[in-house]
């Protein structure tokens, strides 16, 4: 009996040990994203991701898939996906060729420096945010055709048709999408002189299907007539009629003259990694390189993820980099941007020289005289890698959630409110609290400054990471943190995307942080150093891809903060 009891006890202990080992293994097991061998697409919406993956499976390259995803997002993700906005592409071909395309919106020819000021010179509230006057000349459609000309392989018709089918057949709403539409209903009704297709009497609920027949017709014109199907003819006339109905200023001349611009990527190094970023009018590439070069000399790996020291140093770097952003960055076609100086070792060594490990630097003391010189949360990003190793990082936007809230009557798409990304009045914050200067003042035909940061990293001459996010002014710091999470803190791509984030942007002088980003001890320690901490909601919704050591791909989509989805094959 004693022997039997002994065996029972030993068996029970063995079982408990096995269970505990399994639990421990599960806790310690890294959280990976989607793993695939041949190709990967990560975007803000599952239907758009599927469209991109289907294109890859049909033999299209990463750039074909990017075009298809862009048009699909205009249908399934109208709060940020668009044909009425603009954006940036950073690309790397399998042979190592790199570059970028600027299809950012432009200020209409009738715009002028003081167009959002009253007679006393004060900024008129919401004039650059809501309604027809907030819209810049859209660049997305032109951008997709320029990408196709230079980098595409499949017929353009094949890349637009999936979006047409989605618009015709309807899109099933997720809970988040239904909530967004309901939240914006009042603005849709007040701002438009007609009833947009996004509005109905009863609230939208999860599982509802929304149809876009007018948008389908617009996409058919683009498919059949090329970019002239948007910038000329019927669609252009609809845009101009909409402008006239709402006192907007975009003209047929603005539309017919719009052209995207190929630009040299901003390139630099972080330790053994080569960083390929977007140049101005994006501030992302320059700011990210400044931050990475600044953090390189600090041992944040041993300090730990979101520790007091790590957060303090990252914040001190960010306040100086965002001050530079406000002073030196703008459209390079209108303003001489000192890119080489801003990312040079000599400049950054001097710029960061007064950082203390123990004390916060007040933002008001940060000056911008070392050179002798005195953005929505509803952006969206997608990352794509194909079987040959071509990589596309695209961040695209209509700025605020659903842009200006203006839907072009008869055409079924929303216009952006990107004019708010200019400095309506130098020194006055925009909707994201970003302060701008003379470099970003409004001028006809000028592109507004952006925080969008589509980024590609190489390691030892090979593709390593494709990354980007929405988030307005938090885009730069979110990409910064995600890269460090992988390289310094040993996270998988998915863990880096999911990790709680924080943000500082010079002005206002506070650290915004997500729930659970810091523990109470870290908060107290940072406050004792002089930092002001402000809890907020979500920061960023990353879509990223990492090339693993065996050459396979890990796709990471932020399905904790959004409906983002990664798919591979």
Q: Check whether residue 258 and residue 273 sit in a common domain.
A: no
Torsions phi, psi for 106 (to 5 deg): -120, 155
The enclosing H or E element of 177 equals helix 175-183
End-to-end CA distance of the chain: 58
Alpha-carbon dihedral angle through residues 20, 22, 28, 31, given to the nearest 10 degrees? -140
Task: For residue 534, count CB atoms less than 10 angstroms from its CB and return exposed for 0-12, middle for 13-18, buried for 19 or more.
Answer: exposed
Q: Check whether residue 322 and residue 253 sit in a common domain.
A: no
Q: Closest Cα to residue 482, out of 492, 472, 497?
A: 497
- Please give the share of the chain, as a percent, with pLDDT higher than 90: 86
Q: Check whether residue 344 and residue 360 sit in a common domain.
A: yes
Torsions phi, psi for 177 (to 5 deg): -65, -40
pLDDT in tens, 294-336: 999 999 999 999 999 999 999 999 999 999 998 899 999 998 9
Paired with 42 in beta bridges are 383, 566
Instruction: Give domain status of residue 407, yes or no.
Output: yes
CATH code of the domain in which 316 resides? 3.60.20.40
Instruction: Give domain status of residue 32, yes or no.
Output: no
Q: Check whether residue 407 and residue 340 sit in a common domain.
A: no
Instruction: Give domain status of residue 18, yes or no.
Output: no
pLDDT in tens, 143-170: 999 999 999 999 999 999 999 999 999 9
Does 402 have pLDDT greater than 90?
yes
Q: How many domains does the chain fold into?
A: 2
Contacts of 449 (CB under 8 A, 6+ apart): 280, 281, 282, 283, 325, 329, 330, 331, 375, 421, 422, 436, 439, 440
Is there a contact between 542 and 497 (Cβ–Cβ < 8 Å)?
yes
Instruction: Give domain status of residue 358, yes or no.
Output: yes
Domain range for residue 202? 46-83+98-262+400-415+426-440
pLDDT in tens, 265-284: 999 999 999 999 999 999 99
Q: In what order do the strands lie in the sheet with 34-36?
A: 34-36, 553-557, 543-547, 462-467, 455-459, 273-277, 266-270
Instruction: Give domain status of residue 26, yes or no.
Output: no
Is 532 among the residues known to form the active site?
Answer: no
C-alpha separations of 357 from 176, 315, 353, 488 in Å = 41, 11, 11, 19
Does 369 have pLDDT greater than 50?
no
Q: Check whether residue 205 and residue 118 sit in a common domain.
A: yes
Instruction: Give domain status of residue 31, yes or no.
Output: no
Q: Check whether residue 433 and residue 457 sit in a common domain.
A: no
Cα–Cα distance measured from residue 56 to residue 38, given in angstroms and rounded to the nearest whole number: 9
Residue 194: the pLDDT is 96
Q: Check whether residue 241 and residue 309 sit in a common domain.
A: no
Q: Check whether residue 119 and residue 173 sit in a common domain.
A: yes
Cα–Cα distance measured from residue 563 to residue 542, given in angstroms and rounded to the nearest whole number: 11
Radius of gyration of the chain (CA): 24
Instruction: Give domain status of residue 168, yes or no.
Output: yes
Q: What is the pTM of this model?
A: 0.92
Q: Check whether residue 160 and residue 180 sit in a common domain.
A: yes
Only one residue has tokens 């009863």, namely 202
Cα–Cα distance measured from residue 136 to residue 86, given in angstroms and rounded to the nearest whole number: 9
Helix (H, G, I), strand (E, B) or coil at 219: helix
Residue 19 pLDDT class (50, 70, 90 cuts): very low
Helix (H, G, I), strand (E, B) or coil at 79: coil
DSSP assignment of 552-567, as one string?
A: -EEEEE-TTTS--EEE
Q: Check whether residue 434 and residue 351 sit in a common domain.
A: no
Tokens at 73, concatenated: 């997002």
Catalytic residue among 310, 379, 453, 565: 379
pLDDT in tens, 416-448: 999 999 987 766 666 655 555 678 889 999 999
Q: Check whether residue 256 and residue 133 sit in a common domain.
A: yes
Tokens at 71, concatenated: 């048009």
Lowest pLDDT segment from 75-79, 127-131, 378-382, 389-393: 378-382
Is there a contact between 437 and 326 (Cβ–Cβ < 8 Å)?
yes
Cα–Cα distance measured from residue 208 to residue 17, given in angstroms and rounded to the nearest whole number: 48
The enclosing H or E element of 75 equals helix 62-76
Q: Check whether residue 466 and residue 356 sit in a common domain.
A: yes
Instruction: Give domain status of residue 91, yes or no.
Output: no
Residue 23 pLDDT class (50, 70, 90 cuts): very low
Return the DSSP state at 141: H
């Amino acid at each position: 009996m004693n022997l039997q009891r002994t065996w029972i006890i030993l068996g029970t202990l063995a079982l408990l040990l096995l269970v505990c080992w399994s639990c421990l293994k599960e806790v310690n097991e890294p959280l990976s994203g989607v793993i695939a061998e041949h190709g990967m697409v990560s975007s803000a919406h599952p239907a758009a991701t599927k469209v991109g993956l289907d294109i890859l499976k049909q033999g299209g390259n990463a750039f074909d898939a990017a075009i298809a995803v862009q048009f699909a997002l205009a249908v399934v993700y109208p709060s940020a996906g668009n044909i009425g906005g603009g954006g940036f592409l950073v690309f790397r071909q399998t042979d190592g060729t790199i570059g970028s395309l600027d299809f950012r919106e432009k200020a209409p020819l009738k715009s002028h420096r003081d167009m959002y000021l009253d007679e006393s010179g004060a900024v008129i509230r919401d004039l650059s945010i809501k309604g027809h006057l907030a819209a810049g000349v859209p660049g997305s459609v032109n951008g997709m055709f320029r990408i196709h000309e230079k980098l595409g392989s499949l017929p353009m018709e094949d890349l637009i048709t999936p979006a047409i089918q989605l618009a015709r057949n309807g899109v099933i709403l997720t809970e988040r999408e239904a909530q967004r539409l309901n939240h914006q209903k009042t603005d849709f009704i007040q701002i438009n002189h007609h009833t947009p297709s996004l509005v109905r009497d009863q609230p939208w609920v999860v599982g509802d299907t929304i149809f876009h027949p007018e948008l389908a017709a617009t996409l058919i014109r683009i498919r059949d007539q090329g970019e002239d199907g948007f910038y000329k003819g019927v669609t252009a006339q609809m845009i101009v009629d909409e402008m006239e109905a709402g006192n907007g200023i975009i003209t047929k001349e603005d539309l017919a003259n719009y052209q995207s611009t190929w630009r040299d990527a901003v390139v630099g190094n972080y330790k053994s990694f080569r960083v390929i970023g977007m140049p101005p009018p994006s501030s992302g590439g320059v700011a990210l390189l400044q931050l990475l070069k600044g953090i390189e000399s600090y041992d944040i790996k041993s300090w730990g993820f979101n520790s007091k020291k790590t957060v303090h140093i990252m914040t001190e770097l960010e306040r100086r980099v965002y001050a530079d952003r406000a002073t030196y960055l703008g459209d390079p076609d209108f303003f001489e941007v000192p890119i080489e100086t801003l990312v040079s070792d000599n400049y950054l060594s001097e710029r960061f020289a007064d950082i203390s490990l123990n004390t916060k630097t007040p933002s008001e003391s940060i000056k911008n005289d070392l050179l002798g010189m005195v953005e929505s949360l509803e952006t969206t990003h997608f990352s794509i890698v194909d079987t040959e190793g071509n990589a596309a990082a695209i961040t695209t936007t209509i700025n605020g959630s659903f842009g200006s809230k203006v839907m072009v009557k008869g055409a079924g798409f929303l216009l952006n409110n990107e004019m708010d990304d200019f400095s309506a009045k130098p020194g006055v914050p925009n909707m994201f609290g970003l302060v701008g200067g003379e470099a970003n003042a409004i001028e006809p035909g000028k592109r507004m400054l952006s925080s969008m940061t589509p980024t590609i990293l190489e390691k030892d001459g090979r593709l390593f990471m494709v990354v980007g996010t929405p988030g307005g002014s938090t885009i730069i710091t979110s990409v910064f943190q995600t890269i460090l999470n992988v390289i310094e803190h040993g996270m998988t791509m998915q863990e880096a995307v999911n990790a709680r984030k924080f943000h500082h942007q010079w002005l206002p002088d506070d650290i915004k942080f997500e729930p659970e980003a810091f523990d109470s001890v870290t908060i107290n320690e940072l406050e004792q150093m002089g930092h002001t901490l402000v809890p907020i909601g979500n920061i960023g919704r990353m879509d990223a891809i990492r090339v693993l050591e065996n050459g396979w791909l890990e796709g990471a989509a932020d399905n904790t903060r959004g409906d983002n989805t990664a798919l591979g094959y």
